[in-house]
Structure 1
Amino acid sequence: MTSEADKYEVLEKIGHGSFGIIRKVRRKADSLVMCRKEISYLKMSQKEREQLHAEFQILSTLRHQNIVGYYHREHLKSTQDLHLYMEYCGNGDLGRVIRDLAVKGQRAQESFVWSIFSQLVTALYRCHYGIDPPEVGSNVLGLFSTASKPKTPPGTMTILHRDLKPENVFLGEDNSVKLGDFGLSKMIQSHDFASTYVGTPFYMSPEICAAEKYTLKSDIWSLGCIIYELCAREPPFNAKSHFQLVQKIKEGKVSPLPSCYSSELMGTIKDCLRVNPDHRPDTAQLLNLPVVRLMRKEREVVELNKVIKAKEDALARRVKELDEKTAAFEADKAAVRQEV
Structure 2
Amino acid sequence: MAGAAQSTAADGMPWPKCKTDMDWDKKPLGRGYFGEVWRCTRPGKAPSPLIWAVKKIPKSLVQQHSLTEQMQREITIMRSLRHQNIVELHFSFEDDSHIFLGMEFAEGGGMFDLLSKVGKFTLDLAAQHFYEVCDALHYLHNRDPKIIHRDIKPENILLDKGMHAKLADFGWSNVMENVSYRATFCGTPDYLAPEMILGEGHNESLDMWEMGVLLYEMVVGRSPFGGTSQNDTCKNILCLGIGSDHCKGVFFAAADTAFETLCFSQF
Query: Same fold, TM exceeding 0.5?
Result: yes
Instruction: State whether structure 2 residue 125 is matched by structure 1 residue 128.
Output: no
1:183 maps to which residue?
Answer: 171
Corresponding position of 2:194: 206
Change (3 A) 1:19 1:258: closer
Alignment TM-score, normalising by the size of structure 2: 0.85
Cα contact 1:92–1:170 (8 A) shared by 2: yes
The runs of at least 4 consecutive aligned structure 1 residues that moved more than 4 Å come to none
Q: Which has the higher helix share?
A: 1
Task: Provide the C-alpha distance between the structure 1 equivalents of 2:17 and 2:141, rounded to a whole number of angstroms.
Answer: 37
Cα distance in 1 between the residues matched to 2:134 and 2:114: 19
Q: Any conservation in 2 of the 1:218–1:277 contact (CA below 8 Å)?
A: no
- Farther off after superposition, 172-181 or 5-14: 5-14
Could you report, residue by residue, the CA deviation over 1:243-287 in whole angstroms, capped at 9, with x for unpaired residues? Answer: 22221111114234644432221111111112x224xxx6xxxxx
Match of 2:90 in 1: 71
CA distance in 1, matches of 2:221, 2:109: 17
Percent of residue pairs identical: 25
Residue 38 of structure 2 corresponds to residue 23 of structure 1: yes
One-letter amino acid of the counterpart of residue 115, structure 2: I
Give 1:57's match in structure 2, choosing from 76, 93, 101. 76
Provide the rounded CA distance (Å) in 2 between the counterparts of 1:191 and 1:129. Answer: 15
Write out aligned runs for 1:310-325 (5 A).
Answer: none
Deviates more, 1:255-264 or 1:116-125: 255-264
Find the residue that maps to 1:47 and give its secondary structure.
coil
Q: CA RMSD in A?
A: 2.0
Counterpart selection for 2:256 from 263, 267, 282: 267
Residue 54 of structure 2 corresponds to 36
Aligned to 2:18: 4
Code of the residue aligned with 1:10 in structure 2: it is: W
Residue 65 (structure 1) shift? 0.7
May I ask how many residue pairs the two structures share in their alignment?
A: 246
Deviations 1:226-256 (A, max 9, x none): 1101111110001112222221111114234
Is the contact made by 1:117 and 1:227 (CA closer than 8 Å) also made in structure 2?
yes
SS of the residue corresponding to residue 109 of structure 2 reads coil
* Higher alpha-carbon deviation: 243-252 or 176-185: 243-252
For 1:88, the equivalent position in structure 2 comes to 105
Whole-Å separation in 2 of the counterparts to 1:190 and 1:277: 21
TM-score by length of 1: 0.68
CA distance in 1, matches of 2:122, 2:164: 15
Gaps of 5+ in 1: 131-155, 283-340
